[in-house]
Amino acid sequence: MHLSHAPDAPRGDEIGFDQFLAVDIRIGTVLSAEPFPEARKPAFKLVIDFGPAIGVRKSSAQITDRYTPEELTGRQIAAVVNFPPRQIGKFMSEVLTLGFGDQAGAVILFSPDHAVPNGSRLF
């Protein structure tokens, strides 16, 4: 199934609540962010702390249009932590960083508007 990021994309297929609960979305704090020049599309390598239950994980995130490594460090972001890792070049991306497309199609990160404990789960 191909997912469209456009704001006028049709609604996805209906799922059961148990399917929603199977997707483990957590909050973590970005410990470091650096350019990922080897990636096919512009991206950053993120190291994210998801608290004691999940630990520190890495993510390749295509968020270079709206963010710099300096402004990402220390920021809380949401990610799916229970997808299988993906090899991207020589980098293993362990979580899927979440965001929404703005009017120009650039990714805007999904994050809480108040600080929450690292590892907090979306419900």
Domain assignment present for residue 11? The answer is: no
Beta pairing, strands 44-49 & 86-88: unpaired
Domain assignment present for residue 117? The answer is: no
Look up the domain containing 105 and give its range.
18-109
Model pTM score: 0.90
Domain assignment present for residue 3? The answer is: no
Could you read off the pLDDT of 60-100 as tens digits, one per residue?
999 999 999 999 999 999 999 999 999 998 899 999 999 99
Domain assignment present for residue 123? The answer is: no
Q: How many domains, in total, are found in the chain?
A: 1
User: What CATH number has the domain bearing residue 55?
Assistant: 2.40.50.140
